[in-house]
Chains A and B, each alone.
Chain A
Amino acid sequence: MTGDCGELGRRLTELRDGALGESDCAAIEKHLAECASCGGLHRDFEDLARLCRESERPRMPLAVRLRIEQALK
């Protein structure tokens, strides 16, 4: 882990958002390939996102839906 890592970690969210320019992306990706700590952080964020996408979303109970439909009449 180097002095750049703290700042880079913060920019990972911008990277994942596509909010960075080409040269910033290239610099960060180079660092991710070279730094085990930041690379691990990035992969964990990817795994976390995947876990969320695959997680089952609770459905609205029918009784709640009927109450809302009634309120909209």
Chain B
Amino acid sequence: MAGPSEEPRALLYRALDEHGDRLYAFALRMTRDPDLAADAVQEAFTTALRKFDTFRGESSVATWLHRIVYSKAVDLIRQRGKEIPLPADEEAVLGPEDDRLARTPAWARPPDEILQGRQAREALEAAMKQLTPLQRAVFTLREVDGMSTEEVASVLGLEPGTVRVHLHRGRLRLRALLSEHFKGVPS
């Protein structure tokens, strides 16, 4: 892992090479708008360069950049004013609605035999758009980007236990949303 002693511009160039696509994909999932996603990532790199002295190397550069992209994306979503709730508005404790979702009938298996790969991915993308921004962020970072729960917590400024609550809720909602496509039998 590159440390903060590396020359900032060189380090950020390297980060752009290594993590640019992931950062853009994350911003796109958050904002659901290619122009806003581009702005979020560009502003994140500009901010990272300007505030490089605040990077202490306690997390990886990738985690740090994801944190800035997330912050920029949330700002842009707020400015657009179309999508709520944002992090502070969401319950961090699982409740009866989550239990109800858990009782959704299991999918028939395997889903790939029901929908071809591309159709399955399109169904997944459509379902992800129905998650809240926080659920989408947690789910994308954990399941798509493969970050650990601790890294996701660091990106989003949450406790690991809170990340698990939102991750579980996001999984339950996606499972229920996708059950239309991957229909099974009630258990």
- Using a CB–CB distance below 8 Å, which chain A residues touch chain B? 1, 5-6, 9-10, 12-14, 17, 19, 36-37, 39-41, 43-45, 47-49, 51-61, 63-65, 67-69, 71-73
What's the Cα separation between A5 and B100 when bound, in Å? 11
Q: Are A59 and B21 in contact (CB under 8 A)?
A: yes
Q: Are A55 and B144 in contact (CB under 8 A)?
A: yes
Q: A5-B102, A71-B42, A71-B49 are in contact. Are A13 and B24 (CB under 8 A)?
A: no
Q: A10-B94, A13-B164, A61-B38 are in contact. Are A69 and B16 (CB under 8 A)?
A: yes
- Nearest B residue to A14 via CB reads B164
Q: A40-B184, A68-B42, A68-B45 are in contact. Are A45 and B102 (CB under 8 A)?
A: no
Interface membership of B55, Cβ < 8 A:
no
Interface pairs A-B: 9 shortest CB-CB: A40-B106, A60-B24, A52-B143, A13-B168, A9-B102, A64-B38, A36-B187, A57-B25, A55-B121
Q: Are B21 and A60 in contact (CB under 8 A)?
A: yes
Q: How far is the CB of B113 from chain A (nearest CB, A)?
A: 11
- Using a CB–CB distance below 8 Å, which chain B residues touch chain A? 9, 12-13, 16, 20-25, 28, 34, 38, 41-42, 45-46, 49, 94, 98-99, 102-103, 105-107, 109-111, 117, 120-121, 124-125, 139, 143-144, 146, 149, 160, 164, 167-168, 171, 174-175, 178, 182, 184, 187
Would you call the interface of chain A mostly helix, strand, loop, or mixed? helix
How many interface contacts (CB-CB < 8 Å) are there between A and B? 120
What's the Cα separation between A5 and B172 when bound, in Å? 14
- Given A51-B124, A68-B41, 19 extra CB contacts under 8 A: A5-B102, A6-B102, A9-B102, A10-B94, A10-B168, A12-B168, A17-B164, A40-B106, A45-B175, A48-B171, A48-B174, A48-B178, A52-B144, A53-B143, A58-B28, A60-B41, A68-B16, A71-B49, A73-B9
